[in-house]
Amino acid sequence: MRFRTFMTVLGLAATVALAGCTTTGESQETAQSTKVEIFSDSYGKVTDAGYALPAIPIQKIDKKFHRQIVNYSTLEKPGTIIVNTRERFLYYVLPRGKAVRYGIGVGKEGFAWEGKAYVAWKQAWPTWHPPKEMAERKPEVAKYVEKGMGPGLNNPLGARALYLFNEKGQDTLFRLHGTPEWSSIGTAASSGCIRLMNQDIIDLYERVKPGRSAKVIVQQ
């Protein structure tokens, strides 16, 4: 009887072990979203190029939108940027099935375009030129259409901007940029392209080398 009981327990253990190795669509999705390392302590005060970026009260932002490294399954090469506008995430693909995930805010312009592009160039503390369509909606920004708004803590492009061009080498007018409006992360803002917290866009900026190989995929 003791031998039979031992064999029964052994069989159950083997069944459990096999079940743990089974890969299903659900378990893959769970693995992909597993948080490996969260950088919630990376949003303090920063002095950058003479500008004093204030600390972000990160505890007020849903933790899923904090910068973090996650398991991420994709056939795209490391260095690719994948933007999921509906989930409000931007992924920077790393080797070995990982990615840096950033929380984003999406404006109307952000929803207006999807497809493939590349980072043609990037700019630290950029000048902002609002599109004419925005100036028609907001007359107070019309003066910046031509001359632009100089860099600064209140500039809508924030501390950094990445400029996306299509495969024909044409400007998509689509930007990945910082924002002083940290509370807009995870939301659909009234205007703008894809916005990240300033501390996050600085991190992404340092990772990206502009050129055709800096592929960007925007998904809705």
3-state SS class at 32:
helix
Instruction: Say which residue the tokens 């900026």 belong to.
Output: 205
Is residue 193 flagged as an active site residue?
Answer: yes
Give yes or no for a contact between 48 and 69, defined as CB atoms under 8 angstroms apart: no
Q: Which residues of 38-59 are buried (b: 16+ CB within 10 A; e: fewer)?
A: ebeebbeebeeeeeebeebebe
Is residue 21 flagged as an active site residue?
Answer: no
**Spatial separation of the C-alpha atoms in residues 180 and 23, rounded to whole Å:** 42
CA-based nearest residue to 126, from 104, 101, 103, 144: 144
Give, rounded to a whole angstrom, the gap between the first and last alpha carbons of the chain.
61
φ and ψ at residue 102, rounded to 5 degrees: -120, 145
Catalytic residue among 21, 66, 129, 193: 193
Catalytic residue among 21, 66, 129, 177: 177
**Spatial separation of the C-alpha atoms in residues 169 and 181, rounded to whole Å:** 31
Active site residues: 177, 193
